[in-house]
Every structure is written in C-alpha cells, then in structure tokens.
C-alpha cells in the first residue's frame, strides 16, 4: 500500500505490561525520532492510517479494540507490536487473555521482540513510509 511517505498511527494498549510502550516512547523521542521518516501518533482512530497494538488482548479490551478498528477510515493497516501482540507471549493461557491481536482484528505486520528494540520498530515503520 502506498502511503506517500506519511503514516498516521493510532496506538491501542490491549493489555500490555508497558514494556512496549516505553520503547514506543523512545521511537518518537529525540534519539530515534520516527517523525523524521513520516510516522506520527494521532489522538483518534478517525485520523489514523494504521493501528499500533501492544500486549495480549484481554477480555476487557477485545471489544474496544474491534470498535477502534471499525472506526478507522479505509484503507487501514494493523501492526501487532511485541511478542505478546503476536502470540500472547508469557501471558499465553492467562485467565484474563482473550487471545492474540490476530484473533480479534486482521494483522498486516508483526514486530517481534520482548520488547522490540526501537531500531527494529523504526525499520518496520519505514516499510510503510518508504523513507
């Protein structure tokens, strides 16, 4: 999909331990500064091209995650960030966990790691921004 050098991201924490959030903070911080390559965090799914999901999807967050996905304009992408988002990681089989992100919404890109290094996140985002 051609996003013309610009990727608007809506971040949803579906049940993360916040390790991935710290790395995302670092990605958009002064060192890695993903805004240089055209990625940007936005405040509403209405403005987003892609959904950035972290953590295993808990029972409480399954419906909000799906609503957020449906609230986005088409065409839309879903990026599952971190091992938990891919296959529930260490929380697999936990009493509060509904499943991985792919069980709730269709996933276009997975970024492995627990948590993934900011370098890895930036290089994954560059696949969409082409910069």
Enumerate binding residues for other proteins (CB under 8 A): 44-46, 63-65, 67-68, 70-71, 74
11 strand-pairing partners: 52
Q: Quick one: 70 or 90, whose CB is closer to other proteins?
A: 70
- Tell me if 128 sits within 8 A of 3, measured CB to CB: yes
Q: Residue 39 Cβ, how far from other proteins at the closest point, in Å?
A: 22
Q: Quick one: 14 or 124, whose CB is closer to other proteins?
A: 14
Write out the two tokens for 23.
Answer: 């790395």
Q: Quick one: 74 or 93, whose CB is closer to other proteins?
A: 74
Q: Residue 75 Cβ, how far from other proteins at the closest point, in Å?
A: 12
Write out the two tokens for 118.
Answer: 């900011």
Q: Residue 65 Cβ, how far from other proteins at the closest point, in Å?
A: 8
Cα 59 to its chain centre, rounded Å, is: 18
Phi, psi for 52 (deg, rounded to 5)? -105, 105
Q: Where would I find the H helices in the chain?
A: 19-27, 59-71, 83-87, 118-129
Q: Residue 102 Cβ, how far from other proteins at the closest point, in Å?
A: 19
Q: Quick one: 60 or 130, whose CB is closer to other proteins?
A: 60
- Tell me if 118 sits within 8 A of 32, measured CB to CB: yes
């Amino acid at each position: 999909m051609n996003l013309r050098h610009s990727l608007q991201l809506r971040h949803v924490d579906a049940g993360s331990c916040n390790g991935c959030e710290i790395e995302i903070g670092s990605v958009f911080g002064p060192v890695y500064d993903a805004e240089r390559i055209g990625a940007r965090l936005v405040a509403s799914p209405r403005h987003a091209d892609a959904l950035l999901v972290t953590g295993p999807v808990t029972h409480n967050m399954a419906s909000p995650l799906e609503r957020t996905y449906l609230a986005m304009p088409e065409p839309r992408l879903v990026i599952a960030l971190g091992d938990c988002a891919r296959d529930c990681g260490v929380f697999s089989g936990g009493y509060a966990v509904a499943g991985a992100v792919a069980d709730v919404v269709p996933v276009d890109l997975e970024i492995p790691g627990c948590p993934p290094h900011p370098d890895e996140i930036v290089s994954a985002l560059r696949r969409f921004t082409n910069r």
